[in-house]
Amino acid sequence: MQKQFFPIVAPKSTLQSSGAARSTPPAQTTPSSQPSSSRLIPYSGTIIFIGASTGGTEAIREVLTRLPAEVPPILIVQHMPAMFTGSFAQRLDSLSAVSVHEALDGERIEPGVAYLAPGHSHLSIKRSPGGGYHCVLARSEPVNRHRPSVDVLFHSAAEEVGRSAIGVLLTGMGKDGAVGLLRMEEAGAWTIGQDQASCVVYGMPREAALLGALKEVVPLTEVARHVMQRLGAFRLPHRSHA
């Protein structure tokens, strides 16, 4: 069934924190391979950025399946080989109200869509000359030993989106994404980290917490609700799938 898009709810200006908080050339695609869009006005509102590694496939599924279709655009980096990211995106798309696909270089960012970094390229966001934003893919050197790297995505979010961004760092080994999330927080973005008890590996969120990059630390099952609270929407859809 075709997914429906709805107007985006404006984010609230304030929200109480519920957890520990801080006191190369691009990959080539052809224009015909890019999804068509029915939006006439380039999107320039809030954008959600998610990073994860070990345990992240199920963590991302948990977050996306708790979000309604009418969410802002979502950009995702999951450490995963290129041979698996396409099928992972398809699985998420089949389970979620949000449309999910692998990001394409140069494609315009739209609400109600989640863009997953392909396993062969870094994903970042860039302002489009005519307004709105578009995806940028680059097969450049690994960052923090990863390509795609969460830090690459988060640094671009800080530079291009600033205070209109929401950054979410989920379970994962190592420190990828921690510095980028700090840059997002310094740019005025709202930042959320998964808590230790619900992480498969409490590495990346821990490093972000140590840097003072997190405004909220919440259990995995609460991440989507806190994102929606930040957006000013307090009712989540009933989950009809496992």
pLDDT digits (tens, 9 = 90+) for 16-72: 333 434 434 444 443 334 444 445 688 989 999 999 999 999 999 999 999 999 999
* Domain CATH for 175: 3.40.50.180
242, part of any domain: no
126, part of any domain: yes
pLDDT above 80 (res 107): yes
240, part of any domain: no
If one counts the domains in the chain, the total is 1
pLDDT digits (tens, 9 = 90+) for 191-218: 999 999 999 999 999 999 999 999 999 9
8, part of any domain: no
User: What is the model's pLDDT at position 11?
Assistant: 36
> Percent of the chain beyond pLDDT 90?
77
- From the list 79, 134, 146, 155, the catalytic residue is 79
19, part of any domain: no
What CA–CA distance (Å, rounded) separates 198 from 219?
Answer: 6
Told to judge if 93 belongs to the known catalytic residues of this protein, a careful annotator would answer: no
**At 133, is the pLDDT very low, low, confident or very high (cuts 50, 70, 90)?**
very high
Told to judge if 53 belongs to the known catalytic residues of this protein, a careful annotator would answer: yes
What CA–CA distance (Å, rounded) separates 202 from 169?
Answer: 11
With residue 182 as reference, give the H or E element that holds it.
helix 178-186
Q: What is the mean pLDDT of the chain?
A: 85
36, part of any domain: no
Told to judge if 176 belongs to the known catalytic residues of this protein, a careful annotator would answer: yes
pLDDT digits (tens, 9 = 90+) for 145-174: 999 999 999 999 999 999 999 999 999 999
150, part of any domain: yes
User: What is the model's pLDDT at position 27?
Assistant: 44
The DSSP secondary structure of 69-111, one letter per residue, reads: TTPPPEEEEE---HHHHHHHHHHHHHH-SSEEEE--TTPBP-T
Q: Which domain holds residue 158?
A: 43-231
pTM (predicted TM-score)? 0.81
User: What is the model's pLDDT at position 40?
Assistant: 61
30, part of any domain: no
The DSSP secondary structure of 3-62, one letter per residue, reads: PP--PPPPPPS-----S-----PPPP--GGGSPP---SS---S-EEEEEE-TTHHHHHHH
Higher pLDDT, 14 or 40: 40
- From the list 121, 176, 195, 226, the catalytic residue is 176
User: What is the model's pLDDT at position 195?
Assistant: 98
User: What is the model's pLDDT at position 2?
Assistant: 44
